[in-house]
A and B are shown apart, each in its own frame.
Chain A
Amino acid sequence: MMGFGAVRPEADEPIFHAPWETRALALTLACGALGEWTIDTSRHVRESIHPVRYLSYSYYEIWIEALTTLLDRQGLVSAAEMSAGRSLDAARQTRRPRLAGGDVAAVLARGGPCDREVATAALFTPGETVRTRTINPTGHTRLPRYARGKTGVVERVHGGFVFPDSSAHDGGEAPQRVYTIVFTGRELWGEEADPDLTVALDCWESYLERP
Protein backbone atom coordinates (compact mmCIF):
# COMPACT_ATOMS: atom_id res chain seq x y z
CA MET A 1 0.00 0.00 0.00
CA MET A 2 1.01 3.62 -0.45
CA GLY A 3 -0.09 6.94 0.87
CA PHE A 4 0.96 6.57 4.50
CA GLY A 5 3.15 9.65 4.33
CA ALA A 6 6.46 10.40 5.94
CA VAL A 7 8.19 8.25 8.50
CA ARG A 8 8.00 10.16 11.79
CA PRO A 9 10.38 8.79 14.39
CA GLU A 10 9.74 9.82 17.96
CA ALA A 11 12.68 11.55 19.60
CA ASP A 12 14.11 9.58 22.55
CA GLU A 13 11.46 6.94 22.07
CA PRO A 14 10.96 4.82 25.21
CA ILE A 15 11.08 1.04 24.86
CA PHE A 16 7.47 0.88 26.04
CA HIS A 17 4.90 3.65 25.93
CA ALA A 18 2.76 2.35 28.78
CA PRO A 19 2.98 -0.39 31.42
CA TRP A 20 0.32 -2.46 29.65
CA GLU A 21 2.68 -2.83 26.68
CA THR A 22 5.25 -4.60 28.84
CA ARG A 23 2.57 -7.05 29.91
CA ALA A 24 1.45 -7.52 26.29
CA LEU A 25 4.98 -8.47 25.26
CA ALA A 26 5.47 -10.80 28.20
CA LEU A 27 2.07 -12.51 27.87
CA THR A 28 2.65 -13.14 24.18
CA LEU A 29 6.07 -14.68 24.68
CA ALA A 30 5.04 -16.72 27.72
CA CYS A 31 1.98 -18.10 25.94
CA GLY A 32 4.07 -18.83 22.86
CA ALA A 33 6.22 -21.04 25.06
CA LEU A 34 3.25 -23.36 25.61
CA GLY A 35 3.87 -24.82 22.15
CA GLU A 36 0.26 -24.44 21.08
CA TRP A 37 1.01 -22.53 17.88
CA THR A 38 3.96 -21.79 15.63
CA ILE A 39 5.41 -18.32 15.10
CA ASP A 40 4.07 -18.57 11.55
CA THR A 41 0.54 -19.16 12.83
CA SER A 42 0.84 -16.16 15.13
CA ARG A 43 2.03 -13.95 12.27
CA HIS A 44 -0.89 -15.12 10.16
CA VAL A 45 -3.39 -14.34 12.89
CA ARG A 46 -1.97 -10.83 13.27
CA GLU A 47 -1.97 -10.11 9.57
CA SER A 48 -5.53 -11.45 9.29
CA ILE A 49 -6.95 -8.79 11.57
CA HIS A 50 -9.41 -6.71 9.54
CA PRO A 51 -7.40 -4.01 7.74
CA VAL A 52 -9.43 -1.18 9.24
CA ARG A 53 -8.64 -2.32 12.78
CA TYR A 54 -5.11 -3.41 11.90
CA LEU A 55 -4.14 0.00 10.57
CA SER A 56 -5.71 1.87 13.49
CA TYR A 57 -4.22 -0.29 16.25
CA SER A 58 -0.99 0.41 18.00
CA TYR A 59 1.54 -2.38 17.67
CA TYR A 60 0.85 -4.13 20.95
CA GLU A 61 -2.91 -3.87 20.40
CA ILE A 62 -2.31 -6.07 17.35
CA TRP A 63 -0.41 -8.51 19.56
CA ILE A 64 -3.15 -8.66 22.20
CA GLU A 65 -5.91 -9.17 19.65
CA ALA A 66 -3.94 -11.97 18.00
CA LEU A 67 -3.08 -13.57 21.34
CA THR A 68 -6.72 -13.53 22.38
CA THR A 69 -7.72 -15.17 19.10
CA LEU A 70 -5.04 -17.86 19.39
CA LEU A 71 -5.92 -18.68 23.00
CA ASP A 72 -9.61 -18.96 22.09
CA ARG A 73 -8.87 -21.08 19.03
CA GLN A 74 -6.74 -23.47 21.06
CA GLY A 75 -9.41 -23.78 23.75
CA LEU A 76 -7.22 -22.20 26.42
CA VAL A 77 -9.09 -18.97 27.12
CA SER A 78 -12.57 -18.59 25.67
CA ALA A 79 -14.28 -15.44 24.45
CA ALA A 80 -16.79 -15.88 27.30
CA GLU A 81 -13.96 -15.87 29.81
CA MET A 82 -12.48 -12.72 28.28
CA SER A 83 -15.87 -11.02 28.57
CA ALA A 84 -16.28 -12.19 32.16
CA GLY A 85 -12.70 -11.21 33.01
CA ARG A 86 -12.13 -14.46 34.84
CA SER A 87 -11.65 -18.15 34.33
CA LEU A 88 -14.87 -20.13 33.80
CA ASP A 89 -13.64 -23.47 32.50
CA ALA A 90 -11.01 -25.84 33.77
CA ALA A 91 -7.51 -25.52 32.38
CA ARG A 92 -6.16 -28.28 30.20
CA GLN A 93 -2.70 -29.69 29.70
CA THR A 94 -0.75 -27.74 27.13
CA ARG A 95 1.72 -29.17 24.59
CA ARG A 96 4.60 -27.77 26.59
CA PRO A 97 4.55 -26.89 30.28
CA ARG A 98 4.23 -23.31 31.41
CA LEU A 99 7.34 -21.20 31.28
CA ALA A 100 9.00 -20.91 34.67
CA GLY A 101 10.65 -17.66 35.69
CA GLY A 102 13.96 -19.41 36.18
CA ASP A 103 13.88 -20.81 32.65
CA VAL A 104 13.27 -17.54 30.81
CA ALA A 105 16.92 -16.69 30.24
CA ALA A 106 17.70 -20.11 28.78
CA VAL A 107 14.58 -20.16 26.62
CA LEU A 108 15.25 -16.71 25.18
CA ALA A 109 18.90 -17.59 24.63
CA ARG A 110 17.95 -20.74 22.76
CA GLY A 111 15.44 -18.90 20.60
CA GLY A 112 13.59 -20.76 17.89
CA PRO A 113 16.03 -21.68 15.14
CA CYS A 114 14.18 -22.56 11.93
CA ASP A 115 16.97 -24.04 9.84
CA ARG A 116 16.29 -27.62 8.77
CA GLU A 117 17.89 -30.22 6.54
CA VAL A 118 16.55 -30.51 3.03
CA ALA A 119 17.23 -33.67 1.06
CA THR A 120 17.39 -32.25 -2.44
CA ALA A 121 20.08 -30.17 -4.14
CA ALA A 122 19.40 -26.49 -4.77
CA LEU A 123 17.22 -25.85 -7.79
CA PHE A 124 18.77 -22.44 -8.49
CA THR A 125 22.34 -21.19 -8.40
CA PRO A 126 23.93 -17.82 -7.58
CA GLY A 127 23.78 -15.45 -10.53
CA GLU A 128 20.82 -17.24 -12.09
CA THR A 129 17.81 -15.22 -13.22
CA VAL A 130 14.56 -16.35 -11.61
CA ARG A 131 11.02 -15.11 -11.45
CA THR A 132 8.75 -15.11 -8.42
CA ARG A 133 5.51 -16.93 -9.05
CA THR A 134 2.26 -15.04 -9.29
CA ILE A 135 0.33 -16.45 -6.37
CA ASN A 136 -2.48 -15.10 -4.24
CA PRO A 137 -2.96 -17.51 -1.37
CA THR A 138 -5.71 -17.00 1.15
CA GLY A 139 -3.39 -18.35 3.83
CA HIS A 140 -0.02 -17.23 5.09
CA THR A 141 2.87 -16.55 2.76
CA ARG A 142 6.06 -14.57 3.00
CA LEU A 143 6.10 -13.48 -0.64
CA PRO A 144 4.88 -9.89 -0.53
CA ARG A 145 2.39 -8.75 -3.16
CA TYR A 146 4.78 -6.15 -4.56
CA ALA A 147 7.28 -8.89 -5.46
CA ARG A 148 5.04 -11.47 -7.16
CA GLY A 149 5.64 -12.24 -10.82
CA LYS A 150 8.90 -10.27 -10.74
CA THR A 151 12.24 -11.20 -12.26
CA GLY A 152 15.41 -11.02 -10.22
CA VAL A 153 18.82 -12.58 -9.69
CA VAL A 154 19.84 -15.19 -7.14
CA GLU A 155 22.41 -13.51 -4.92
CA ARG A 156 22.79 -16.22 -2.34
CA VAL A 157 21.66 -19.78 -1.75
CA HIS A 158 20.89 -20.63 1.87
CA GLY A 159 20.05 -23.89 3.54
CA GLY A 160 16.61 -25.20 4.34
CA PHE A 161 14.16 -23.44 6.63
CA VAL A 162 10.71 -24.20 8.02
CA PHE A 163 8.20 -23.23 5.30
CA PRO A 164 5.78 -20.66 6.76
CA ASP A 165 3.02 -21.23 4.21
CA SER A 166 2.75 -24.75 5.61
CA SER A 167 3.73 -24.18 9.23
CA ALA A 168 1.12 -21.47 9.74
CA HIS A 169 -1.73 -23.86 8.94
CA ASP A 170 -0.83 -27.05 10.81
CA GLY A 171 0.77 -28.42 7.67
CA GLY A 172 4.01 -29.22 9.42
CA GLU A 173 7.42 -27.71 8.81
CA ALA A 174 7.83 -28.88 5.18
CA PRO A 175 11.26 -27.24 4.97
CA GLN A 176 12.56 -25.74 1.72
CA ARG A 177 15.74 -24.06 0.68
CA VAL A 178 15.75 -20.25 0.91
CA TYR A 179 17.32 -17.95 -1.65
CA THR A 180 18.20 -14.26 -1.44
CA ILE A 181 16.85 -12.76 -4.68
CA VAL A 182 17.72 -9.24 -5.76
CA PHE A 183 15.33 -7.14 -7.81
CA THR A 184 16.01 -3.79 -9.41
CA GLY A 185 13.82 -0.90 -8.39
CA ARG A 186 12.72 -0.57 -11.99
CA GLU A 187 11.56 -4.18 -12.13
CA LEU A 188 9.42 -3.61 -9.06
CA TRP A 189 8.18 -0.06 -9.59
CA GLY A 190 8.68 0.85 -13.25
CA GLU A 191 10.81 3.28 -15.19
CA GLU A 192 10.36 6.15 -12.74
CA ALA A 193 12.18 4.27 -9.99
CA ASP A 194 15.65 5.20 -8.79
CA PRO A 195 17.91 3.49 -11.35
CA ASP A 196 20.37 2.36 -8.68
CA LEU A 197 17.84 0.93 -6.25
CA THR A 198 17.94 -2.78 -5.53
CA VAL A 199 15.66 -4.68 -3.17
CA ALA A 200 16.62 -8.08 -1.76
CA LEU A 201 14.05 -10.59 -0.55
CA ASP A 202 14.55 -14.01 0.99
CA CYS A 203 12.39 -16.48 -0.93
CA TRP A 204 11.55 -20.11 -0.31
CA GLU A 205 12.22 -22.32 -3.33
CA SER A 206 8.55 -22.84 -4.19
CA TYR A 207 8.10 -19.08 -4.59
CA LEU A 208 10.47 -19.18 -7.57
CA GLU A 209 10.44 -20.43 -11.15
CA ARG A 210 12.61 -20.14 -14.23
CA PRO A 211 11.38 -17.31 -16.46
Chain B
Amino acid sequence: MSDHEDDHDHSHDHGAPVSPIVQRVRALEAILIEKGYIEEAALDAIIDTYQTKVGPRNGARVVAKAWSDPAYLERLRADATKAIAELGYGGRQGEHMMIVENTPERHNLVVCTLCSCYPWSVLGLPPVWYKSAPYRAKAVLDPRGVLADFGIVLPEKTAIRVWDSTAELRYLVVPMRPEGTEGWSEEKLAALVTRESMIGTSQPLRPGDTA
Protein backbone atom coordinates (compact mmCIF):
# COMPACT_ATOMS: atom_id res chain seq x y z
CA MET B 1 0.00 0.00 0.00
CA SER B 2 1.52 3.33 -0.93
CA ASP B 3 2.31 5.37 2.10
CA HIS B 4 2.59 8.78 0.51
CA GLU B 5 -0.42 8.70 -1.77
CA ASP B 6 -3.32 9.09 0.49
CA ASP B 7 -6.02 6.83 -0.85
CA HIS B 8 -7.18 6.40 2.71
CA ASP B 9 -9.30 9.42 3.47
CA HIS B 10 -8.33 10.55 6.95
CA SER B 11 -11.34 12.77 7.30
CA HIS B 12 -13.55 9.72 7.76
CA ASP B 13 -13.75 8.12 11.17
CA HIS B 14 -12.66 4.50 11.04
CA GLY B 15 -16.19 3.21 11.49
CA ALA B 16 -17.45 4.90 8.33
CA PRO B 17 -17.81 2.72 5.24
CA VAL B 18 -15.53 3.41 2.32
CA SER B 19 -17.55 4.85 -0.53
CA PRO B 20 -18.19 2.59 -3.53
CA ILE B 21 -16.04 4.64 -5.89
CA VAL B 22 -13.06 4.52 -3.53
CA GLN B 23 -13.46 0.74 -3.22
CA ARG B 24 -13.70 0.42 -6.97
CA VAL B 25 -10.60 2.51 -7.62
CA ARG B 26 -8.61 0.61 -4.98
CA ALA B 27 -9.66 -2.74 -6.43
CA LEU B 28 -8.80 -1.66 -9.94
CA GLU B 29 -5.39 -0.38 -8.94
CA ALA B 30 -4.60 -3.53 -6.95
CA ILE B 31 -5.61 -5.85 -9.77
CA LEU B 32 -3.73 -3.86 -12.42
CA ILE B 33 -0.56 -3.85 -10.33
CA GLU B 34 -0.93 -7.54 -9.49
CA LYS B 35 -1.21 -8.37 -13.19
CA GLY B 36 1.74 -6.20 -14.07
CA TYR B 37 -0.20 -3.88 -16.38
CA ILE B 38 0.78 -0.79 -14.44
CA GLU B 39 3.47 0.15 -11.99
CA GLU B 40 3.06 2.46 -9.05
CA ALA B 41 6.01 4.66 -9.96
CA ALA B 42 4.22 5.58 -13.20
CA LEU B 43 1.04 6.46 -11.33
CA ASP B 44 2.97 8.68 -8.94
CA ALA B 45 4.80 10.41 -11.80
CA ILE B 46 1.56 11.12 -13.64
CA ILE B 47 -0.08 12.56 -10.54
CA ASP B 48 2.96 14.67 -9.75
CA THR B 49 3.03 16.03 -13.27
CA TYR B 50 -0.51 17.36 -13.13
CA GLN B 51 -0.34 18.51 -9.53
CA THR B 52 2.91 20.39 -9.77
CA LYS B 53 4.37 20.69 -13.25
CA VAL B 54 1.63 21.36 -15.76
CA GLY B 55 -0.89 24.07 -15.00
CA PRO B 56 -2.26 27.46 -16.05
CA ARG B 57 0.96 29.25 -15.10
CA ASN B 58 2.33 27.77 -18.32
CA GLY B 59 -0.34 29.43 -20.43
CA ALA B 60 0.05 32.66 -18.48
CA ARG B 61 3.70 32.80 -19.55
CA VAL B 62 2.71 32.27 -23.16
CA VAL B 63 0.21 35.12 -22.96
CA ALA B 64 2.63 37.43 -21.15
CA LYS B 65 5.24 36.83 -23.83
CA ALA B 66 2.65 37.40 -26.57
CA TRP B 67 1.84 40.75 -24.97
CA SER B 68 5.50 41.74 -24.59
CA ASP B 69 7.11 40.44 -27.75
CA PRO B 70 5.43 41.19 -31.10
CA ALA B 71 7.72 38.76 -32.95
CA TYR B 72 6.65 35.99 -30.55
CA LEU B 73 3.00 36.84 -31.13
CA GLU B 74 3.59 36.46 -34.86
CA ARG B 75 5.16 33.05 -34.28
CA LEU B 76 2.17 32.05 -32.15
CA ARG B 77 -0.14 33.09 -34.95
CA ALA B 78 1.85 31.14 -37.53
CA ASP B 79 2.31 27.93 -35.53
CA ALA B 80 1.13 28.05 -31.95
CA THR B 81 2.29 24.53 -31.06
CA LYS B 82 5.85 25.34 -32.11
CA ALA B 83 5.89 28.76 -30.43
CA ILE B 84 4.50 27.33 -27.19
CA ALA B 85 7.17 24.62 -27.35
CA GLU B 86 9.82 27.37 -27.32
CA LEU B 87 8.83 27.91 -23.69
CA GLY B 88 9.09 24.18 -23.00
CA TYR B 89 5.40 23.39 -22.99
CA GLY B 90 3.74 20.75 -25.10
CA GLY B 91 2.68 17.15 -25.30
CA ARG B 92 -0.51 15.48 -24.25
CA GLN B 93 -3.66 17.37 -25.23
CA GLY B 94 -1.62 20.24 -26.60
CA GLU B 95 -0.26 18.64 -29.77
CA HIS B 96 -2.28 20.87 -32.09
CA MET B 97 -2.57 24.33 -30.57
CA MET B 98 -4.25 27.48 -31.89
CA ILE B 99 -4.37 30.89 -30.27
CA VAL B 100 -7.47 33.05 -30.48
CA GLU B 101 -7.02 36.71 -29.66
CA ASN B 102 -9.53 38.92 -27.90
CA THR B 103 -10.07 42.38 -29.38
CA PRO B 104 -12.53 45.15 -28.54
CA GLU B 105 -14.68 43.79 -31.36
CA ARG B 106 -14.44 40.10 -30.49
CA HIS B 107 -14.38 38.02 -27.33
CA ASN B 108 -13.46 34.35 -27.58
CA LEU B 109 -14.87 31.51 -25.48
CA VAL B 110 -13.68 27.90 -25.64
CA VAL B 111 -15.76 24.83 -24.84
CA CYS B 112 -15.98 21.13 -25.59
CA THR B 113 -19.69 20.37 -25.81
CA LEU B 114 -19.04 16.69 -26.57
CA CYS B 115 -16.83 15.86 -23.60
CA SER B 116 -14.11 17.97 -21.95
CA CYS B 117 -11.33 18.56 -24.47
CA TYR B 118 -9.01 21.22 -23.10
CA PRO B 119 -5.43 22.38 -23.74
CA TRP B 120 -3.80 20.47 -20.87
CA SER B 121 -0.26 21.36 -21.87
CA VAL B 122 -0.79 25.07 -21.21
CA LEU B 123 -3.67 25.09 -18.74
CA GLY B 124 -3.29 21.83 -16.82
CA LEU B 125 -6.37 19.80 -15.96
CA PRO B 126 -9.72 21.44 -16.64
CA PRO B 127 -11.86 22.74 -13.77
CA VAL B 128 -15.05 20.88 -12.89
CA TRP B 129 -17.33 23.59 -14.30
CA TYR B 130 -15.70 23.29 -17.73
CA LYS B 131 -16.41 19.55 -17.84
CA SER B 132 -19.96 19.77 -16.52
CA ALA B 133 -23.32 19.82 -18.27
CA PRO B 134 -24.28 23.44 -17.55
CA TYR B 135 -21.22 24.91 -19.26
CA ARG B 136 -21.14 22.38 -22.07
CA ALA B 137 -24.79 23.10 -22.90
CA LYS B 138 -24.86 26.85 -22.34
CA ALA B 139 -21.58 28.03 -23.86
CA VAL B 140 -22.70 27.55 -27.48
CA LEU B 141 -26.29 28.60 -26.81
CA ASP B 142 -25.97 31.61 -24.50
CA PRO B 143 -22.34 32.65 -24.03
CA ARG B 144 -23.33 36.05 -22.68
CA GLY B 145 -25.31 34.21 -20.04
CA VAL B 146 -22.23 32.13 -19.22
CA LEU B 147 -20.14 35.28 -18.87
CA ALA B 148 -22.84 36.71 -16.59
CA ASP B 149 -22.55 33.54 -14.45
CA PHE B 150 -18.88 34.52 -14.07
CA GLY B 151 -19.80 38.13 -13.31
CA ILE B 152 -18.59 39.45 -16.66
CA VAL B 153 -20.47 41.87 -18.87
CA LEU B 154 -18.99 42.70 -22.23
CA PRO B 155 -19.63 45.94 -24.09
CA GLU B 156 -22.54 45.58 -26.53
CA LYS B 157 -20.25 46.19 -29.49
CA THR B 158 -18.14 43.13 -28.59
CA ALA B 159 -19.26 40.08 -30.52
CA ILE B 160 -18.70 36.65 -29.05
CA ARG B 161 -17.03 33.78 -30.93
CA VAL B 162 -17.40 30.38 -29.31
CA TRP B 163 -14.94 27.65 -30.29
CA ASP B 164 -16.32 24.13 -29.84
CA SER B 165 -13.29 21.84 -29.58
CA THR B 166 -14.73 19.05 -31.70
CA ALA B 167 -11.40 17.89 -33.16
CA GLU B 168 -7.87 17.71 -31.74
CA LEU B 169 -7.13 21.39 -32.24
CA ARG B 170 -6.89 23.02 -28.81
CA TYR B 171 -7.62 26.68 -28.33
CA LEU B 172 -5.85 29.14 -26.03
CA VAL B 173 -7.48 32.54 -25.59
CA VAL B 174 -5.06 35.46 -25.59
CA PRO B 175 -6.94 38.14 -23.62
CA MET B 176 -6.38 41.83 -24.23
CA ARG B 177 -3.49 43.28 -22.31
CA PRO B 178 -4.79 45.31 -19.36
CA GLU B 179 -4.24 49.06 -19.34
CA GLY B 180 -1.62 50.52 -17.04
CA THR B 181 0.92 47.74 -17.62
CA GLU B 182 3.35 49.56 -19.89
CA GLY B 183 6.92 48.47 -19.30
CA TRP B 184 5.93 45.55 -17.07
CA SER B 185 8.15 42.48 -17.06
CA GLU B 186 6.76 39.25 -18.49
CA GLU B 187 6.73 37.77 -15.00
CA LYS B 188 4.64 40.62 -13.64
CA LEU B 189 2.29 40.42 -16.62
CA ALA B 190 1.90 36.66 -16.27
CA ALA B 191 0.57 37.13 -12.74
CA LEU B 192 -2.41 39.00 -14.21
CA VAL B 193 -3.37 36.15 -16.55
CA THR B 194 -5.97 33.96 -14.87
CA ARG B 195 -6.93 30.51 -16.07
CA GLU B 196 -10.47 31.67 -16.80
CA SER B 197 -9.18 34.51 -18.98
CA MET B 198 -7.43 31.91 -21.17
CA ILE B 199 -10.67 29.94 -21.54
CA GLY B 200 -12.71 33.08 -22.10
CA THR B 201 -14.93 33.11 -19.01
CA SER B 202 -13.19 36.06 -17.45
CA GLN B 203 -10.86 38.93 -18.17
CA PRO B 204 -7.31 39.10 -16.82
CA LEU B 205 -6.65 40.88 -13.56
CA ARG B 206 -5.85 44.57 -13.76
CA PRO B 207 -3.02 46.36 -11.97
CA GLY B 208 -4.14 46.76 -8.39
CA ASP B 209 -6.65 43.86 -8.50
CA THR B 210 -6.11 41.25 -5.85
CA ALA B 211 -6.13 37.74 -7.29
Residue numbers of A with Cβ under 8 A of B are 1-10, 13, 15-20, 22-27, 29-31, 33-34, 43, 46-47, 55, 58-59, 61, 64, 67-68, 71, 76-77, 81-82, 85-87, 91, 94, 98-105, 108-115, 142-144, 146-147, 158, 161-162, 178, 180, 182, 188-189, 194, 196-204
Query: How many B residues face the partner with a CB closer than 8 A?
Result: 82
Closest 10 CB pairs of A and B: A101-B41, A202-B167, A196-B159, A104-B45, A91-B35, A26-B43, A4-B134, A111-B91, A85-B27, A109-B91
From B46, B124, B134, contact of A5 by CB (8 A): B134
Q: Which of A10, A67, A197 contacts B128 (CB 8 A)?
A: A10
Partner of B129, one of A7, A113, A197, A204: A7
Which residues on the B side are within 8 Å of A158 (C-beta)?
167, 169
Q: For B163, what are the chain A residues with a Cβ–Cβ distance below 8 Å? A: 199-200
Is the beta-carbon distance between B34 and A82 smaller than 8 angstroms? Answer: no
Interface stretch among B61-69, B71-79, B139-147, B175-183?
A: B139-147
Q: Which of the listed residues A5, A30, A94 has the most CB atoms from chain B within 10 Å of its own CB?
A: A30
Write the residues of chain B forming the contact surface with A, with a CB cutoff of 8 angstroms.
5-9, 21-32, 34-47, 49-51, 54-55, 90-96, 113-116, 121, 124-125, 127-129, 131-135, 137-138, 140-146, 149-150, 159-169, 196, 201
A-B contact pairs, 12 of them (CB 8 A): A5-B134, A7-B138, A20-B25, A27-B32, A31-B32, A71-B28, A82-B31, A85-B23, A85-B31, A98-B37, A101-B39, A204-B167
Q: Is the CB of A13 within 8 A of B137?
A: no
Give min CB distance, A154 to chain B, whole Å: 14
A25 to B135, CA, bound (A): 22
Distance in Å: Cβ of B78 to nearest Cβ of chain A: 13
- B9/A7 in contact, CB under 8 A: no
CB closest chain-B residue, reference A16: B51
A7 and B149 contact, CB distance less than 8 A: yes
Q: Are A198 and B162 closer than 8 Å at their CB atoms?
A: yes
Interface SS of chain A: mixed
- The residue in A13, A104, A115 that gathers the most chain B C-beta atoms within 10 A of its C-beta is A104
**How many angstroms from the CA of A26 to the CA of B92 in the assembled complex?**
14
Given contacts A110-B91, A202-B169, 12 further A-B contacts (CB under 8 A): A7-B134, A18-B9, A19-B5, A30-B43, A59-B131, A87-B34, A98-B37, A99-B38, A102-B41, A108-B91, A111-B95, A197-B160
